[in-house]
Amino acid sequence: MALLILHVLTGTLLALGVALLPVGALRRQVPKLGAWWLSRGVAILGVKVLARGRPSKAPALLLANHISWLDILVLATQSDSGYVAKAEVAHWPLLGWLAQVGGTEFVRRGSHADLARVRARVTARLNAGESLTLFPEGTSGGKVLPLRFRPRLLQAAVDAKVPVQPVAIYYGTQTADVAFVGEDSLITHLWALLGREPVVAEITYLPVLSTVSGDCRLLADESWRAVTHTLNRLELFDIESRHTHAAEYGAELVRAA
Protein backbone atom coordinates (compact mmCIF):
# COMPACT_ATOMS: atom_id res chain seq x y z
CA MET A 1 0.00 0.00 0.00
CA ALA A 2 2.90 2.36 0.80
CA LEU A 3 4.27 1.88 -2.72
CA LEU A 4 0.86 2.67 -4.20
CA ILE A 5 0.57 5.89 -2.19
CA LEU A 6 4.08 6.92 -3.23
CA HIS A 7 3.20 6.17 -6.84
CA VAL A 8 0.08 8.34 -6.64
CA LEU A 9 2.14 11.20 -5.20
CA THR A 10 4.67 10.79 -8.02
CA GLY A 11 1.89 10.98 -10.58
CA THR A 12 0.55 14.13 -8.93
CA LEU A 13 3.96 15.81 -9.11
CA LEU A 14 4.37 14.81 -12.76
CA ALA A 15 0.93 16.16 -13.61
CA LEU A 16 1.67 19.45 -11.81
CA GLY A 17 4.90 19.75 -13.74
CA VAL A 18 3.11 19.28 -17.04
CA ALA A 19 0.36 21.72 -16.07
CA LEU A 20 2.84 24.42 -15.03
CA LEU A 21 5.04 23.95 -18.09
CA PRO A 22 2.64 23.68 -21.06
CA VAL A 23 5.42 24.00 -23.62
CA GLY A 24 8.94 22.72 -23.95
CA ALA A 25 10.73 19.45 -23.37
CA LEU A 26 8.53 18.22 -20.50
CA ARG A 27 5.32 18.75 -22.47
CA ARG A 28 6.71 16.78 -25.40
CA GLN A 29 7.46 13.90 -23.05
CA VAL A 30 3.89 13.68 -21.71
CA PRO A 31 2.95 10.44 -23.59
CA LYS A 32 6.11 8.64 -22.43
CA LEU A 33 5.79 9.95 -18.86
CA GLY A 34 2.13 8.94 -18.76
CA ALA A 35 2.85 5.46 -20.10
CA TRP A 36 5.66 5.02 -17.58
CA TRP A 37 3.43 6.05 -14.69
CA LEU A 38 0.57 3.81 -15.77
CA SER A 39 2.78 0.78 -16.43
CA ARG A 40 4.50 1.26 -13.09
CA GLY A 41 1.05 1.17 -11.51
CA VAL A 42 0.50 -2.25 -13.08
CA ALA A 43 3.65 -3.56 -11.39
CA ILE A 44 2.64 -2.13 -8.01
CA LEU A 45 -0.81 -3.73 -8.28
CA GLY A 46 0.88 -7.06 -9.00
CA VAL A 47 -0.66 -7.47 -12.45
CA LYS A 48 1.25 -9.75 -14.83
CA VAL A 49 0.97 -8.71 -18.48
CA LEU A 50 1.48 -11.15 -21.37
CA ALA A 51 1.61 -9.58 -24.83
CA ARG A 52 1.35 -11.11 -28.29
CA GLY A 53 2.08 -9.06 -31.37
CA ARG A 54 3.01 -5.39 -31.24
CA PRO A 55 1.23 -2.07 -31.50
CA SER A 56 1.61 -0.39 -34.87
CA LYS A 57 4.79 1.69 -35.17
CA ALA A 58 3.04 3.99 -37.63
CA PRO A 59 0.16 6.22 -36.45
CA ALA A 60 -3.00 4.17 -35.98
CA LEU A 61 -6.32 4.12 -34.15
CA LEU A 62 -6.25 1.12 -31.81
CA LEU A 63 -9.61 -0.52 -31.06
CA ALA A 64 -9.73 -2.56 -27.85
CA ASN A 65 -12.46 -4.39 -25.94
CA HIS A 66 -13.18 -2.79 -22.59
CA ILE A 67 -13.58 -4.51 -19.22
CA SER A 68 -12.12 -2.21 -16.59
CA TRP A 69 -10.18 0.98 -15.83
CA LEU A 70 -7.29 -1.47 -15.46
CA ASP A 71 -7.28 -1.89 -19.26
CA ILE A 72 -5.52 1.47 -19.72
CA LEU A 73 -2.78 0.57 -17.25
CA VAL A 74 -2.28 -2.81 -18.92
CA LEU A 75 -2.09 -1.28 -22.42
CA ALA A 76 0.38 1.35 -21.19
CA THR A 77 2.95 -1.40 -20.57
CA GLN A 78 3.16 -1.86 -24.34
CA SER A 79 2.45 1.57 -25.84
CA ASP A 80 2.48 5.30 -25.09
CA SER A 81 -0.71 5.78 -27.10
CA GLY A 82 -3.19 8.47 -26.10
CA TYR A 83 -6.76 7.51 -25.18
CA VAL A 84 -10.37 8.40 -25.85
CA ALA A 85 -12.54 7.96 -22.77
CA LYS A 86 -16.03 8.73 -21.54
CA ALA A 87 -16.43 12.17 -19.94
CA GLU A 88 -17.16 10.66 -16.52
CA VAL A 89 -13.52 9.52 -16.25
CA ALA A 90 -12.43 13.16 -16.00
CA HIS A 91 -14.21 13.34 -12.61
CA TRP A 92 -12.56 10.27 -11.07
CA PRO A 93 -10.43 11.02 -7.99
CA LEU A 94 -6.89 11.95 -9.08
CA LEU A 95 -6.81 9.49 -11.99
CA GLY A 96 -9.27 11.67 -13.89
CA TRP A 97 -7.13 14.76 -13.37
CA LEU A 98 -4.00 12.89 -14.43
CA ALA A 99 -5.82 11.70 -17.55
CA GLN A 100 -6.81 15.29 -18.39
CA VAL A 101 -3.26 16.58 -18.00
CA GLY A 102 -1.98 13.63 -20.02
CA GLY A 103 -4.09 14.62 -23.02
CA THR A 104 -6.92 12.07 -22.91
CA GLU A 105 -9.81 13.02 -25.18
CA PHE A 106 -13.10 12.91 -23.26
CA VAL A 107 -16.41 12.42 -25.04
CA ARG A 108 -19.89 13.01 -23.60
CA ARG A 109 -22.05 10.04 -24.44
CA GLY A 110 -25.27 10.91 -26.24
CA SER A 111 -24.02 14.29 -27.47
CA HIS A 112 -23.66 14.46 -31.26
CA ALA A 113 -21.98 17.86 -31.03
CA ASP A 114 -19.36 16.58 -28.59
CA LEU A 115 -18.82 13.48 -30.70
CA ALA A 116 -18.06 15.69 -33.70
CA ARG A 117 -15.66 17.77 -31.59
CA VAL A 118 -13.77 14.71 -30.34
CA ARG A 119 -13.68 13.18 -33.82
CA ALA A 120 -12.01 16.35 -35.14
CA ARG A 121 -9.51 16.30 -32.24
CA VAL A 122 -8.65 12.64 -32.83
CA THR A 123 -8.23 13.26 -36.57
CA ALA A 124 -5.86 16.14 -35.88
CA ARG A 125 -3.75 14.10 -33.48
CA LEU A 126 -3.56 11.14 -35.89
CA ASN A 127 -2.50 13.57 -38.63
CA ALA A 128 0.18 14.88 -36.28
CA GLY A 129 1.70 11.40 -36.03
CA GLU A 130 0.17 10.18 -32.77
CA SER A 131 -1.58 6.89 -32.13
CA LEU A 132 -4.71 6.78 -29.97
CA THR A 133 -6.63 3.98 -28.33
CA LEU A 134 -10.41 3.82 -28.43
CA PHE A 135 -12.81 1.45 -26.64
CA PRO A 136 -15.53 1.26 -29.31
CA GLU A 137 -18.04 -0.70 -27.22
CA GLY A 138 -18.80 2.63 -25.57
CA THR A 139 -18.88 1.04 -22.11
CA SER A 140 -17.08 -1.56 -20.01
CA GLY A 141 -18.49 -5.03 -19.51
CA GLY A 142 -18.21 -7.99 -17.19
CA LYS A 143 -17.95 -10.70 -19.83
CA VAL A 144 -15.06 -12.06 -21.86
CA LEU A 145 -16.68 -11.38 -25.24
CA PRO A 146 -17.27 -7.74 -26.21
CA LEU A 147 -20.39 -5.92 -27.30
CA ARG A 148 -20.55 -4.86 -30.96
CA PHE A 149 -18.10 -2.09 -31.78
CA ARG A 150 -19.64 1.30 -32.54
CA PRO A 151 -18.36 2.86 -35.77
CA ARG A 152 -18.82 6.59 -35.21
CA LEU A 153 -15.34 7.67 -34.05
CA LEU A 154 -13.65 5.45 -36.63
CA GLN A 155 -14.28 8.23 -39.13
CA ALA A 156 -11.27 9.97 -37.57
CA ALA A 157 -8.97 7.21 -38.86
CA VAL A 158 -10.60 7.38 -42.29
CA ASP A 159 -10.18 11.15 -42.46
CA ALA A 160 -6.55 10.94 -41.30
CA LYS A 161 -5.85 8.07 -43.73
CA VAL A 162 -4.35 5.88 -41.01
CA PRO A 163 -5.19 2.21 -40.28
CA VAL A 164 -7.08 0.80 -37.33
CA GLN A 165 -5.60 -1.99 -35.22
CA PRO A 166 -7.84 -4.40 -33.25
CA VAL A 167 -6.56 -5.25 -29.76
CA ALA A 168 -7.88 -8.08 -27.58
CA ILE A 169 -7.62 -7.80 -23.77
CA TYR A 170 -8.19 -11.03 -21.85
CA TYR A 171 -8.33 -11.64 -18.09
CA GLY A 172 -9.56 -15.23 -18.28
CA THR A 173 -11.36 -16.54 -15.20
CA GLN A 174 -10.61 -13.24 -13.42
CA THR A 175 -12.76 -11.21 -15.83
CA ALA A 176 -15.72 -10.88 -13.44
CA ASP A 177 -13.44 -9.75 -10.60
CA VAL A 178 -11.61 -7.20 -12.75
CA ALA A 179 -14.75 -5.84 -14.47
CA PHE A 180 -15.67 -2.25 -13.60
CA VAL A 181 -19.35 -1.83 -14.40
CA GLY A 182 -22.55 -0.15 -13.27
CA GLU A 183 -22.30 2.03 -10.18
CA ASP A 184 -18.92 0.70 -9.07
CA SER A 185 -16.77 3.20 -7.15
CA LEU A 186 -13.17 3.49 -8.40
CA ILE A 187 -11.74 3.53 -4.86
CA THR A 188 -13.87 0.58 -3.72
CA HIS A 189 -13.00 -1.39 -6.84
CA LEU A 190 -9.27 -0.65 -6.43
CA TRP A 191 -9.37 -1.72 -2.78
CA ALA A 192 -11.13 -4.99 -3.68
CA LEU A 193 -8.61 -5.64 -6.44
CA LEU A 194 -5.73 -5.25 -3.98
CA GLY A 195 -7.28 -7.93 -1.79
CA ARG A 196 -7.57 -10.55 -4.54
CA GLU A 197 -5.06 -12.91 -6.08
CA PRO A 198 -2.67 -11.35 -8.64
CA VAL A 199 -4.28 -10.61 -12.00
CA VAL A 200 -2.94 -11.98 -15.29
CA ALA A 201 -3.77 -9.87 -18.34
CA GLU A 202 -3.17 -11.02 -21.90
CA ILE A 203 -2.98 -8.48 -24.73
CA THR A 204 -3.10 -9.54 -28.36
CA TYR A 205 -2.25 -6.95 -31.01
CA LEU A 206 -3.91 -8.08 -34.23
CA PRO A 207 -2.99 -7.10 -37.82
CA VAL A 208 -3.85 -3.54 -38.82
CA LEU A 209 -6.82 -2.92 -41.11
CA SER A 210 -6.68 -0.39 -43.91
CA THR A 211 -9.26 2.40 -43.85
CA VAL A 212 -9.06 3.03 -47.60
CA SER A 213 -12.64 1.74 -48.07
CA GLY A 214 -13.96 4.60 -45.96
CA ASP A 215 -16.66 2.28 -44.57
CA CYS A 216 -16.61 2.83 -40.80
CA ARG A 217 -19.31 0.27 -40.08
CA LEU A 218 -17.38 -2.40 -41.97
CA LEU A 219 -14.16 -1.50 -40.12
CA ALA A 220 -15.97 -1.70 -36.77
CA ASP A 221 -17.45 -5.11 -37.64
CA GLU A 222 -14.14 -6.51 -38.92
CA SER A 223 -12.34 -5.30 -35.81
CA TRP A 224 -15.04 -6.71 -33.53
CA ARG A 225 -14.88 -10.09 -35.28
CA ALA A 226 -11.08 -10.20 -35.02
CA VAL A 227 -11.15 -9.39 -31.28
CA THR A 228 -14.05 -11.78 -30.58
CA HIS A 229 -12.35 -14.65 -32.45
CA THR A 230 -9.14 -14.12 -30.47
CA LEU A 231 -10.97 -14.01 -27.12
CA ASN A 232 -12.99 -17.11 -28.02
CA ARG A 233 -9.78 -18.96 -28.82
CA LEU A 234 -8.10 -17.89 -25.57
CA GLU A 235 -11.14 -18.84 -23.51
CA LEU A 236 -11.37 -22.26 -25.18
CA PHE A 237 -7.68 -22.87 -24.49
CA ASP A 238 -8.23 -21.97 -20.83
CA ILE A 239 -11.17 -24.36 -20.53
CA GLU A 240 -9.23 -27.21 -22.13
CA SER A 241 -6.24 -26.52 -19.87
CA ARG A 242 -8.39 -26.64 -16.74
CA HIS A 243 -10.03 -29.89 -17.85
CA THR A 244 -6.63 -31.44 -18.55
CA HIS A 245 -5.30 -30.30 -15.19
CA ALA A 246 -8.38 -31.69 -13.39
CA ALA A 247 -8.03 -35.04 -15.19
CA GLU A 248 -4.33 -35.29 -14.32
CA TYR A 249 -5.03 -34.39 -10.69
CA GLY A 250 -7.77 -37.02 -10.55
CA ALA A 251 -5.43 -39.63 -11.99
CA GLU A 252 -2.83 -38.79 -9.35
CA LEU A 253 -5.40 -39.25 -6.58
CA VAL A 254 -6.35 -42.66 -7.99
CA ARG A 255 -2.71 -43.75 -8.12
CA ALA A 256 -2.14 -42.49 -4.59
CA ALA A 257 -5.09 -44.53 -3.34
The DSSP element (H or E) to which 61 belongs, if any, is: strand 61-64
141-183 per-position pLDDT tens digit: 888 999 999 999 999 999 999 999 999 999 988 888 888 876 6
Query: Based on C-alpha coordinates, what's the Rg of the chain?
Result: 19
Residue 28 has pLDDT above 80, yes or no: no
Best CA proximity match to 138, nearest among 156, 120, 157, 151: 151
User: Residue 253 has what pLDDT?
Assistant: 47
Q: Enumerate the β-bridge partners of residue 209.
A: 164
User: Residue 189 has what pLDDT?
Assistant: 72
CA angle 166, 171, 175 (to 5 degrees): 115
- Confidence band of 22 (pLDDT split at 50, 70, 90): low
Instruction: Look up the CATH number of the domain holding residue 23.
Output: 3.40.1130
Percent residues over pLDDT 90 in the chain: 44
Residue 254 lies in a domain: no
Residue 153 lies in a domain: yes
Residue 187 lies in a domain: yes
Residue 255 lies in a domain: no
Question: For the chain, what is the domain count?
Answer: 1
Residue 18 or 113, more confident: 113
Residue 140 lies in a domain: yes
Q: Enumerate the β-bridge partners of residue 168.
A: 204
Mean pLDDT of 186-204: 79
User: Residue 193 has what pLDDT?
Assistant: 72
Percent residues over pLDDT 70 in the chain: 71
Residue 232 lies in a domain: yes
Inter-residue contact 193 to 154 (CB < 8 Å)? no
Residue 256 lies in a domain: no
Domain that holds residue 63: 2-248
